[in-house]
C-alpha cells in the first residue's frame, strides 16, 4: 500500500483505533455480502450471511459495524438464524447477538444480518476526477466495519461472496471471479463474485464505476486485466499492462499465485495503491501517465498478493511483514530487471527516508503502542522493514535467503504470522541464531550512527581507521570499508572499533558501506 498524503489530509476521515477483541469467540468461515447501490442516494441496503465457527462456549457473539450517528452509519434491521429472529443490540459500533442457549465450542452458526445506512467511510461514494459517480471500498486498516458487519481484524480470514445490485450503466469489480452478471428490468444489474481463498476484511472490496476494460494478457492460466476510466483508457491500458511482466517474477521466486485473476483497477480512494486481493486499486490521480512511471507501484501492490494478502500479519504491530516485504520485493524485482545499480539507488533513497523519519519519531518497527493504525504507514513499516530484509539477505546469502522466503510463504500462506515466526524459519533454513538480529533491527528504536575517521602512516604504510557508534544503544553488525581500491569487512560491536590496514600507497579515500548493505547514518566529516 502506498499512502496518498494529500487526499488523506483533505478527506479528514475518522478511523477506529480499537483493535478487534483478541479473545473473540468466533472464527468466521464465509461471508456473503449483498449490497444494493443507487444513483439517487448514498444510502446502501445490505444483508450479510455469515457462516461462523464457535471457538469457545458462549451465549453471545459480537460483530463490528459502525452505529448510526446523526445522518451516517448503519442501522441493523434484523438478525436471524435460519429465518428465525435472534435477539441483538447495536451499540458503540458492535452488534451483540444473543442465543437462547449456550452454543458449544466447535458448533457452526449461520447468521443473517439485514441493515442499511450511509457509510461515513469504508465504502467511498463520490465523484471521480471526471465528475462521474463512483463507489469504491477502501477498508484498510479496520474500516470495513463502516459498511460491512464483520470481524474487522487481519487475524480473522474468511472466504466471501459479493452480490452487488447497482444501476446498469456501471461495471462491478470485486475479489475472486465473476459467476453471474444479470440485468434486471433494463435498469439495474446484479453482479456476483465469489472468492474461495480466505481473506482479511482489509482486502475485501468492490469497485463500481463506468470502466473501460481490457485483458492485458495471461500469466500461466491467470487472466490479467486493466479497469480504467474511459477518458484515459489508452494510457491506462498501457501503464497497467506492466502487471503481465511483474506477476511471473513473484510466481517464480516466491510461490504460486493464490488467486484466479489479477485485475488492476483505477480508483478514487485515499491511497496511492491498495493491494486488495486479486483486484488492486490504484489512485486515479497518480497511477496513470502513459509513460509507465508507476512500475514500482504496480510491483509493490502485486508483491502484496503474497505478503499481506496470503501470508498476513497477525496484528497491526507486525505490519512490516506486509509492507516491508512488498517494499523489498519491489527492489528485488527492479534489481533483476534493471541491475544492481538501480537497486542500490532505491536502497540509498529508502535509507534516507528511515533516517529522516527517525529524526522526528524514534520508534521500533514492531510497535504495539500505536493504536491509530494509520500512523503505522511510515518509513519504519515500509523502508526500514525492507532494509531489514536486505541486511538479512546479506547475512544469509542469496540462496538461503530465498529458501527462507519461500519456506515462510508456503508455511503461512492463508494464515497469519508474527515477526518471531519469520525469525524461526530463517533460523531453521540457515542454521544460524538470528534472534539478536531481529531484536536489534525490529524491536529496538533507532539505527546505528557512525563516525568513521582515518589516518595514513607513511612510515608503516598503514591506514588506521576508527569507527565510533554515536547512538546510545550499541548495535552489532558487519561493516564494509572501502580503502582506495581495496575492500575489507569488519565486525562492529563496541562503542569504538580501531583497526589498521596495510597499503602500498596512501589511499585517496576511505568509504563506509560502499555496496549499500547496512542501514546506518553516516556522521563522518566529509
**Helix/strand/coil (H/E/C) assignment for every residue in 2-14:** EECHHHHHHHCCC
Distance CA 246, CA 264 (A): 12
Question: Which residue in the block uniquely carries the three cell numbers 493504536?
Answer: 371
153 closest CA partner among 19, 43, 245: 19
- pLDDT at 525 (0 to 100): 83
Euclidean distance between CA atoms 140 and 1, whole angstroms: 9
Tell me the C-alpha distance between 28 and 149, whole Å.
11
Distance (Å, whole) CA 436 – CA 476: 9
Tens of pLDDT along the chain (526 residues)? 765 433 333 333 333 444 445 568 999 999 999 999 999 999 999 999 999 999 999 999 999 999 999 899 999 999 999 999 999 999 999 999 999 999 999 999 999 999 999 999 999 999 999 999 999 999 999 999 999 999 999 999 999 999 999 999 999 999 999 999 999 988 999 999 999 999 999 999 999 999 999 999 999 999 999 999 999 999 999 999 999 999 999 999 999 999 999 999 999 999 999 999 999 999 999 999 999 999 999 999 999 999 999 999 999 999 999 999 999 999 999 999 999 999 999 999 999 999 999 999 999 999 999 999 999 999 999 999 999 999 999 999 999 999 999 999 999 999 999 999 999 999 999 999 999 999 999 999 999 999 999 999 999 999 999 999 999 999 999 999 999 999 999 999 999 999 999 999 999 999 999 999 999 999 998 6
Coil, strand or helix at 55: coil
Q: Report pTM.
A: 0.95
| Packed helices 385-396 and 419-430: angle between N→C axes, nearest 10 degrees | 10
- pLDDT averaged over every residue in the chain: 95
Stretch(es) of the chain classified as CATH 1.10.390.10: 311-443
| pLDDT for the residue numbered 8 | 36
Listed in order, the ranges of the chain carrying CATH 2.60.40.1730 are 2-10+25-303
Cα distance between residue 241 and residue 215, in whole Å: 9
Query: What is the sign, positive or negative, of the torsion defined by CA atoms of 250, 420, 381, 137?
Result: positive
Give the count of beta carbons closer than 10 Å to the beta carbon of residue 392: 22
Do 497 and 466 touch, CB atoms closer than 8 A? yes
Give the per-residue pLDDT at 3.
54
For residue 382, the SS3 value is helix
Which of 19, 278, 283, 244 lies closest to 141 in space, CA to CA?
Answer: 19
Helical spans, DSSP H, in 361-456: 385-396, 398-412, 419-430, 435-438
- Which pLDDT value is given to residue 12? 35
Strand pairing partners for 114? 47, 78
Rounded to whole angstroms, the Cα distance separating 105 from 393 reads 43
> Which numeric CATH code is attached to 311-443?
1.10.390.10
Partner residues linked to 50 by β-bridges? 31, 111
Which part of the chain has CATH 2.60.40.1840?
A: 449-522
- The pLDDT value recorded for residue 7 is 36
- Residues whose CB is less than 8 angstroms from the CB of residue 351 and which lie 6 or more positions away in sequence, other chains included: 383, 387, 516, 519, 520
Q: Are 463 and 473 in contact (CB under 8 A)?
A: no
Are 265 and 282 within 8 A, CB to CB? yes
Residue ranges of the alpha helices (H) in 258-339? 295-303, 320-338
Cell 520485493: give the residue: 329
CATH architecture of 2-10+25-303: Sandwich (2.60)
Domain 449-522 has CATH 2.60.40.1840: yes
Amino acid at each position: 500500500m502506498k499512502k496518498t498524503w494529500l487526499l488523506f489530509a483533505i478527506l479528514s476521515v475518522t478511523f477506529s483505533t480499537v483493535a478487534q477483541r483478541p479473545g473473540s469467540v468466533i472464527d468466521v468461515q464465509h461471508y456473503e455480502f449483498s449490497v444494493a447501490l443507487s444513483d439517487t442516494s448514498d444510502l446502501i441496503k445490505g444483508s450479510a450471511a455469515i457462516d461462523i465457527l464457535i471457538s469457545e462456549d458462549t451465549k453471545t457473539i459480537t460483530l463490528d459495524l459502525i452505529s448510526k450517528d446523526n445522518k451516517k452509519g448503519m442501522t441493523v434491521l434484523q438478525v436471524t438464524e435460519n429465518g428465525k429472529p435472534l435477539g441483538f443490540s447495536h451499540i458503540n459500533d458492535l452488534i451483540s447477538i444473543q442465543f437462547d442457549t449456550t452454543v458449544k465450542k466447535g458448533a457452526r452458526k449461520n447468521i443473517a444480518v439485514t441493515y442499511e445506512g450511509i457509510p461515513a467511510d469504508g465504502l467511498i461514494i463520490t465523484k471521480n476526477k471526471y465528475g462521474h459517480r463512483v463507489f469504491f471500498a477502501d477498508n484498510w486498516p479496520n474500516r470495513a466495519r463502516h459498511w460491512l458487519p464483520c470481524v474487522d481484524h487481519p487475524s480473522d480470514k474468511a472466504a466471501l461472496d459479493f452480490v452487488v445490485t447497482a444501476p446498469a450503466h456501471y461495471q462491478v469489480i470485486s475479489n475472486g471471479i465473476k459467476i453471474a452478471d444479470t440485468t434486471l428490468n433494463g435498469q439495474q444489474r446484479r453482479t456476483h463474485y465469489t472468492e474461495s481463498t480466505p481473506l482479511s476484511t482489509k482486502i475485501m472490496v468492490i469497485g463500481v464505476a463506468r470502466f473501460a476494460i481490457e485483458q492485458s494478457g495471461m500469466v500461466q492460466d491467470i487472466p490479467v486485466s486493466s479497469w480504467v476510466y474511459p477518458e484515459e483508457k489508452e494510457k491506462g491500458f498501457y501503464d497497467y499492462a506492466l502487471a503481465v511482466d511483474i506477476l511471473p517474477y513473484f510466481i517464480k521466486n516466491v510461490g504460486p499465485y493464490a488467486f484466479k485473476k489479477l485485475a488492476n483497477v483505477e480508483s478514487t480512494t485515499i491511497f496511492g495503491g491498495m493491494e486488495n486481493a486479486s483486484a488492486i486499486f490504484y489512485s486515479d490521480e497518480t497511477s496513470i501517465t502513459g509513460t509507465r512511471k508507476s512500475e514500482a507501484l504496480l510491483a509493490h501492490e502485486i508483491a502484496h498478493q503474497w505478503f499481506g494478502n496470503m501470508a498476513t500479519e497477525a496484528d497491526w504491530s507486525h505490519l512490516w511483514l506486509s509492507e516491508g516485504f512488498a517494499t523489498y520485493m519491489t527492489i528485488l524485482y527492479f534489481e533483476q530487471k534493471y541491475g544492481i545499480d538501480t537497486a542500490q539507488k532505491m536502497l540509498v533513497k529508502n535509507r534516507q527516508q528511515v533516517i529522516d523519519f527517525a529524526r522526528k519519531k524514534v520508534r521500533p518497527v514492531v510497535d504495539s503502542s500505536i493504536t491509530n493504525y494509520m500512523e503505522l504507514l511510515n518509513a519504519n513499516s515500509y523502508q526500514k522493514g525492507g532494509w531489514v530484509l536486505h541486511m538479512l539477505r546479506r547475512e544469509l546469502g542469496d540462496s538461503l535467503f530465498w529458501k527462507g522466503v519461500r519456506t515462510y510463504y508456503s508455511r503461512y500462506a492463508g494464515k497469519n504470522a508474527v515477526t518471531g515466526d519469520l525469525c524461526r524459519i530463517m533460523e531453521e533454513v540457515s542454521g544460524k541464531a538470528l534472534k539478536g538480529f531481529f531484536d536489534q533491527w525490529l524491536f529496538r528504536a533507532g539505527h546505528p550512527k557512525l563516525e568513521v575517521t582515518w589516518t595514513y602512516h607513511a612510515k608503516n604504510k598503514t591506514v588506521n581507521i576508527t569507527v565510533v557508534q554515536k547512538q546510545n544503544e550499541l548495535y552489532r553488525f558487519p561493516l564494509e570499508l572501502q580503502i582506495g581500491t581495496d575492500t575489507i569487512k569488519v565486525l562492529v560491536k563496541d562503542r569504538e572499533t580501531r583497526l589498521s590496514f596495510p597499503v602500498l600507497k596512501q589511499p585517496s579515500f576511505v568509504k563506509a558501506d560502499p555496496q549499500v548493505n547496512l542501514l546506518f547514518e553516516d556522521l563522518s566529516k566529509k
